[in-house]
Chain A
Amino acid sequence: MQSVLNQLYFSDRYNELLDASGQARPHWQALVAQLEAEEPTAMRKRIEAVQRQIRDNGVTYNVYADTHGVQRPWDLDVLPLIIPQDEWQHIAASVAQRATLLNRVLLDVYGEQQLLLSGQLPPALIYGHSGFLPSCVGIPHYDNIALHSYAVDLARAPNGQWWVVSDRTQGPTGAGYALENRTIISSAFPELFRDLNIERLSGFFASMRDSLAHWGHRVAANQAQTVPGISALGQGEPPLVVILTPGPYNETYHEQSFLAGYLGYPLVQGSDLTVRNGVVWLKTIAGLKPVHAILRRIDDDYCDPLELNADSLLGVAGLTQAARLGNVLIANALGANVLQSGALLGFLPGLCQSLLGEALRMPSVATWWCGEPAALEYVIQNLDHLVIKPAYTQGHASPVFAEDLNATQKEALIAKLRAQPDHYIAQEQVDISHAPVLTTHQHQPQLGSLAVSLRVYAFATPNGYAILPGGLSRVASGKDARVVTMQRGGTSKDTWVLSHDSQPPFSLLRKTTSSQDLVRENAYLSSRMAENLFWYGRYSVRNLQKAIMLRATIRALVEYTPESRAGEWSTMQGLCQWFELLPSPKDEEELANWQPWTDDDIEPLLVQAVFSQQSSSLATSVQQLFQQAFNLRERISNDHWRTVNTLSRQFITRHQHASLQDALAHIEQAINHFVTLTGFAMDWMTRDLGWRFMSLGRRIERLQFMCVLLSRALGMPQHSNLEWLLQATNNLVTYRARYAAQPEWLPVLDLLLMDGNNPNSVVFQIKGLVKYLEEMDAQDNAGGISTALNDCWQTLLQLDPDQCFAPGNGTLAEWLNHTYEVTLTLSDRLSARFFSYASPLVSPGY
């Protein structure tokens, strides 16, 4: 077979895979051998398997400007970037050194400012940087570490050397994606992965947890000593570490929730936290719990609307003051953004020498800060070979390739540089190395090469920085092949660091040393999470009921003549209207002129009720459920999430000319998924506090629906067909097993109302609700929240079936209406008692 390597071409750049003679470098040979031994179809299947797993795991990256909605699937190439051990040791040592150095600079900038006083750093680099936060000067740091989490983007120059392109010090993203990439790619090449002794990633995350626990304990001790009313952590009691997220619309929210689940930290938003007595507290359903460490994913100036940016609604008022008092560890420390500056790069060799007494191990890509007059002149002279970037914000501003500009544009650029030289840096345009990528072209796997960059992660420990052995490799598959960024469309790669030693099996969780370390209940359920679970419970039941109601209605339309369904037809339509699946009259006038639908009228309306992306439909309702699940991402298993994801995808595509049969087929599929979700909820989730809130949501929703359904059904004529009523409540099978005859009022109502063993009966919902609510009254002092529903239950038990279980019965109708009202109040009372986490109102001052 022809060597796959023939597909690759040579260029001046360094090629990760090929050496100068066109042979595979030694550390790639095992992978190349596998590629060559394999049939193209097998390789294609591998690629497809990777794509499928990303889709099913719901790995996403949100792109702000994306017109297709919030989410875009993560892009992952099947081939890893492979790095040999000796080369990695150099990278790891260089990154650790750089993190150590930057931490020293950060401490100085917000501390003694010796570097400014001695002239080693020009003041413009600090005071001209909007990331310098005066409020953060003087904040103390445990173990003299302010830069806990650090990442650096590296690229390889034509001579084979790795260079630093930029530093990430704000809240580096991507380590979680690297972890997910590893999970997916290691299962795409299981044998290879095992044989090659690839460095595991789990150890890095374990040391991250250990470090945060270490500092968390220090913070806890400080709180216990200085804050009245806070006692020391108990024996074996872990400190509370949270991940602070900007919320689901952030570009890397998926990663944040994944990491939260993996590390076992609550994922919280600013409104979940509050500061009192100089301590940060998490609002849980059991009251306020002191927080010890915060892994922040919110930019530092948005972290505290009281002292920092008053425009921020994301932060926690008073956070800066809590940090000042040593009552919370914030990783990274507030103010760390000041290091994220291309202007700093040129000063690092000198600073390294003077602060650490050693040479900087890895050079930065040649960078000129235009704030220095000589540099500015050089940049203007050599513009064509340079890339111009903003000096201080490394956010979403595009780099400018001067070679792309015409004469007028160049003039304008030079004028801009001269007007505000401090604000710009110029970097040498480097021909960075190429890595192999595998794509499919006309169903054939194809090997190609793309420019690659590597993001390496460091996390501080009390004994120096730990380096993630691997990282997030990215190739430039976007429109501009010179720019490697996920924001503009890029593809990621797993990064394999080869090891000389065989690797211990994968595990994050360390061995439990004593029974005291056993955790039986997640200690912290934030109020917001409780509310999310509650609404997830409600929406999942509501979706199932909508689907079943639609199915019953469509079947009635298809299977019965208008005459034979006359008794129940208007009630069924009315229930679809109650679910807002069919339009209702909007005002008195419309109501007065309302004409009953003919079968021809209603057919397109029912199709729309399933597929419409605009009006209220099963499709939009499924998207709401998806959002709810998304907010719970770190609480639900991957399998559970996969089902939600598949369900959502089923309804996201447009169905332009769908028929009633298509609608029915989609409903059937959706019902299967909903039932699977119910299975996850019942069988796969731990029955902790969170589960209880979800169950409350499920039961309240079902009880409400049954009250509405039955009270409307009671208005039907005596001789209506009751089969749909059994279908809509999922009771048809049970009924048929018990009674051979056509459904009749008394046995149907008895089964739907009174049968305590029937999970689809009214009394079953009430019984469960009363049980949970009584537990809440006992444990959480919920203020007699169970009383009203308990009364409903007693009244129901006293109803005489022979008298009341008949159409048109006023007593039963009244009971149903009353119980419906009680569930509404109950939902409000739960909100007021457990879910209140009001958003703050900020006054910027006068």
Chain B
Amino acid sequence: MRYQVEHQTHYSYDLPVIQSQQMVHMMPRQTPYQQCVSYTLACEPSPAEQSRRLDFFGNHTDYLTMLVPHQSLEVTSRFQVEVLPRPTISALAQSPAWELVQAMLKSEGTQYLEAAPFIYTTARVKCSEALANYALTCFTPQRPLLEAAMALTQKIHAEFEFDAQATDVSTPLDEVLKGRRGVCQDFAHLMLGALRSLGLPCRYVSGYILTHPPPGQPRLVGADASHAWVSVYCPMYGWVDFDPTNNCLVQQDHITVAWGRDFGDVSPMRGVVLGGGAQQLKVSVTVTPLDYAMA
């Protein structure tokens, strides 16, 4: 599948901003299942300084500095990406029992260094007994890791309600667990917390998902959003992605941008401004599937 994605971030400020520094994670990664074909990042006002690097996790990070006084800031990324088929759940049926994975990571951590950064508590994903207990209802004795992970994905989808008003970026995990409401970011964090509380490595993936408009209706521009899901480490198959918000194993509808330990590592855009007063944020995302003929 080939997609075109446009992701627009618009800040407006009550007072002029005299200096703005932004760090952006919007350029999609190259992975075995994904090729980035083209990518542009546009910014208004135009930046005085701009640079790009690969971060510790291998994500593309763009740095922007704006020095002209401004009361609105618009950052737009546009890219085309080719998404390839991933293994289906039946192809992943042979994963080891989750306790085995837990023990391997604990006693032979050095063998699995690529997973090591993703087992521990972080600022936004605090491991706890409550989360471990939540996970244990799916991680029954000797259950294969990926089967259990799929069960956890289903459980979160079934028990939590999508509610954009219930939480914000700073809502702690405990509250999400109690309130049973939230958005994709909360569900991803919840699943990470549950898995890590059992000592299982998993990472936070940010990206986009193709939404399907009701039959017969046109795709609306800007109606999509950035998305987040979870990637679980299996010593046999490598990283396998689960989407608790949509109750699925990630296939060709998901476009990966970046991954990290939690949202904090891969937030699409974070920044520091001087001046500005109060600020309002508007985000719009459009994911368009392209015909091969057109591309």
Residues of chain B from 7 to 41 with CB closer than 8 A to chain A in the complex: 9, 11, 18-19, 21, 23
Q: Which residues of A are at the interface with B, using a C-beta cutoff of 8 A?
A: 113, 116-119, 122-124, 127-128, 130, 134-135, 137-138, 274-278, 305-307, 309-310, 317-318, 321, 324, 373, 419-420, 422, 838-846
Asked if B92 CB lies within 8 Å of chain A CBs, one says: no
Chain B 52-69 per-residue mask, 1 if CB under 8 angstroms from chain A, else 0: 010111000001010100
Q: CA of A274 to CA of B20 in the docked complex: distance in angstroms?
A: 11
Residues of chain B from 246 to 265 with CB closer than 8 A to chain A in the complex: 260-261, 263-265
Having A113-B113, A310-B264, A846-B268, one finds 10 other A-B pairs with CB under 8 Å, namely A116-B110, A123-B117, A127-B116, A138-B56, A305-B272, A306-B270, A307-B23, A318-B65, A843-B269, A846-B269
Task: Choose one: B11, B49, B56, B274; the contact of A137 (CB below 8 Å).
Answer: B56
B270 near A135 (CB under 8 angstroms)? no
Which 8 A-B pairs have CB atoms at the shortest separation, nearest pair first?
A845-B267, A845-B270, A123-B116, A134-B56, A317-B272, A119-B110, A123-B109, A128-B120
B272 near A117 (CB under 8 angstroms)? no
Contacts A307-B23, A310-B264, A419-B129 given; does A845 touch B113 at CB 8 Å: no
Contacts A122-B110, A844-B169 given; does A134 touch B117 at CB 8 Å: yes
Task: Choose one: B21, B265, B283; the contact of A846 (CB below 8 Å).
Answer: B283
Task: Choose one: B19, B23, B129, B260; the contact of A274 (CB below 8 Å).
Answer: B19
Residues of chain A lying within 8 A (CB to CB) of residue B51: 278, 321
A841 near B170 (CB under 8 angstroms)? no
Asked if B271 CB lies within 8 Å of chain A CBs, one says: yes
Residues of chain B lying within 8 A (CB to CB) of residue A310: 264, 270
Q: CA of A373 to CA of B123 in the docked complex: distance in angstroms?
A: 26
Chain B 92-130 per-residue mask, 1 if CB under 8 angstroms from chain A, else 0: 000000000000000101100100110111110001010
Q: CA of A33 to CA of B188 in the docked complex: distance in angstroms?
A: 72
Smallest CB–CB gap between A124 and chain B, Å?
Answer: 7
Residues of chain B lying within 8 A (CB to CB) of residue A845: 169, 263-264, 267-271
Asked if B142 CB lies within 8 Å of chain A CBs, one says: no
Residue contacts A-B, CB under 8 angstroms, 25 given: A123-B113, A124-B116, A128-B119, A130-B122, A134-B55, A135-B55, A276-B67, A278-B49, A306-B21, A310-B270, A317-B21, A321-B51, A419-B129, A422-B120, A841-B272, A841-B274, A842-B270, A843-B270, A843-B271, A843-B272, A843-B279, A845-B263, A845-B264, A845-B267, A845-B269
Smallest Cβ-Cβ distance to A421: which chain B residue:
B106
Task: Choose one: A123, A324, A841; the contact of B279 (CB below 8 Å).
Answer: A841
Asked if B223 CB lies within 8 Å of chain A CBs, one says: no
A844 near B267 (CB under 8 angstroms)? yes
Grouping DSSP codes into helix (H, G, I), strand (E, B) and loop, the A interface class, with mixed when no group exceeds half, is: loop
Asked if B289 CB lies within 8 Å of chain A CBs, one says: no
Residues of chain A lying within 8 A (CB to CB) of residue B49: 276-278
Q: CA of A324 to CA of B56 in the docked complex: distance in angstroms?
A: 13
Smallest Cβ-Cβ distance to B276: which chain A residue:
A841
B109 near A122 (CB under 8 angstroms)? yes
Chain B 166-192 per-residue mask, 1 if CB under 8 angstroms from chain A, else 0: 000110000000000000000000000
Task: Choose one: B18, B21, B117; the contact of A318 (CB below 8 Å).
Answer: B21
Q: CA of A838 to CA of B275 in the docked complex: distance in angstroms?
A: 7
Asked if B281 CB lies within 8 Å of chain A CBs, one says: yes
Asked if B273 CB lies within 8 Å of chain A CBs, one says: yes
Residues of chain B lying within 8 A (CB to CB) of residue A838: 18, 274-275
Q: Which residues of B are at the interface with A, using a C-beta cutoff of 8 A?
A: 9, 11, 18-19, 21, 23, 48-49, 51, 53, 55-57, 63, 65, 67, 107, 109-110, 113, 116-117, 119-123, 127, 129, 169-170, 226, 260-261, 263-265, 267-276, 279, 281, 283
Q: CA of A130 to CA of B226 in the docked complex: distance in angstroms?
A: 28
Smallest Cβ-Cβ distance to B108: which chain A residue:
A119
Smallest Cβ-Cβ distance to A420: which chain B residue:
B127
Task: Choose one: A127, A128, A842; the contact of B272 (CB below 8 Å).
Answer: A842
B109 near A841 (CB under 8 angstroms)? no
B117 near A127 (CB under 8 angstroms)? yes
Q: CA of A127 to CA of B113 in the docked complex: distance in angstroms?
A: 10
Q: CA of A373 to CA of B108 in the docked complex: distance in angstroms?
A: 13
Smallest CB–CB gap between B226 and chain A, Å?
Answer: 8
Q: CA of A842 to CA of B63 in the docked complex: distance in angstroms?
A: 15
Smallest CB–CB gap between A580 and chain B, Å?
Answer: 30
Residues of chain A lying within 8 A (CB to CB) of residue B117: 123, 127, 134
Contacts A134-B55, A842-B272 given; does A123 touch B110 at CB 8 Å: yes
Residues of chain B lying within 8 A (CB to CB) of residue A122: 109-110
Q: CA of A113 to CA of B56 in the docked complex: distance in angstroms?
A: 12
Smallest CB–CB gap between B279 and chain A, Å?
Answer: 7
Task: Choose one: A124, A419, A839, A842; the contact of B120 (CB below 8 Å).
Answer: A124
Smallest CB–CB gap between A131 and chain B, Å?
Answer: 12
Residues of chain A lying within 8 A (CB to CB) of residue B273: 840-841, 843
Residues of chain B lying within 8 A (CB to CB) of residue A116: 110, 113, 116
Q: CA of A307 to CA of B56 in the docked complex: distance in angstroms?
A: 12
B56 near A135 (CB under 8 angstroms)? yes
Smallest CB–CB gap between A337 and chain B, Å?
Answer: 14
Q: CA of A556 to CA of B191 in the docked complex: distance in angstroms?
A: 77
Smallest CB–CB gap between B68 and chain A, Å?
Answer: 13
Residues of chain A lying within 8 A (CB to CB) of residue B21: 275, 306, 317-318
A840 near B270 (CB under 8 angstroms)? no
Contacts A276-B65, A317-B272, A840-B272 given; does A846 touch B129 at CB 8 Å: no
Smallest CB–CB gap between A334 and chain B, Å?
Answer: 13
Residues of chain B lying within 8 A (CB to CB) of residue A113: 113
Residues of chain A lying within 8 A (CB to CB) of residue B113: 113, 116-117, 123
For B107, B226, B272, which residue has the most chain A Cβ atoms within 10 angstroms?
B272
Task: Choose one: B23, B274, B276, B281; the contact of A306 (CB below 8 Å).
Answer: B23
Residues of chain B lying within 8 A (CB to CB) of residue A317: 21, 272
Smallest CB–CB gap between A313 and chain B, Å?
Answer: 10
Contacts A123-B109, A840-B273, A841-B279 given; does A846 touch B23 at CB 8 Å: no
Smallest Cβ-Cβ distance to B53: which chain A residue:
A324
Contacts A122-B110, A127-B119, A276-B49 given; does A844 touch B274 at CB 8 Å: no
B110 near A117 (CB under 8 angstroms)? yes
Smallest Cβ-Cβ distance to B23: which chain A residue:
A306
Residues of chain A lying within 8 A (CB to CB) of residue B110: 116-119, 122-123
Q: CA of A427 to CA of B67 in the docked complex: distance in angstroms?
A: 53
Q: CA of A138 to CA of B120 in the docked complex: distance in angstroms?
A: 22
Smallest Cβ-Cβ distance to A845: which chain B residue:
B267
Smallest Cβ-Cβ distance to A113: which chain B residue:
B113
A846 near B120 (CB under 8 angstroms)? no
Smallest CB–CB gap between A362 and chain B, Å?
Answer: 28
Q: CA of A543 to CA of B117 in the docked complex: distance in angstroms?
A: 58
Residues of chain B lying within 8 A (CB to CB) of residue A134: 55-57, 117, 260-261, 265
Smallest Cβ-Cβ distance to A110: which chain B residue:
B56
Q: CA of A414 to CA of B279 in the docked complex: distance in angstroms?
A: 49
Residues of chain B lying within 8 A (CB to CB) of residue A138: 56
Residues of chain B lying within 8 A (CB to CB) of residue A307: 23
Q: CA of A122 to CA of B120 in the docked complex: distance in angstroms?
A: 13
Residues of chain B lying within 8 A (CB to CB) of residue A318: 21, 63, 65
Residues of chain B lying within 8 A (CB to CB) of residue A373: 107
B281 near A846 (CB under 8 angstroms)? yes
Residues of chain A lying within 8 A (CB to CB) of residue B170: 844
Smallest CB–CB gap between A12 and chain B, Å?
Answer: 40
Smallest CB–CB gap between A685 and chain B, Å?
Answer: 32
Residues of chain B lying within 8 A (CB to CB) of residue A843: 11, 269-273, 279, 281
Q: CA of A744 to CA of B187 in the docked complex: distance in angstroms?
A: 83
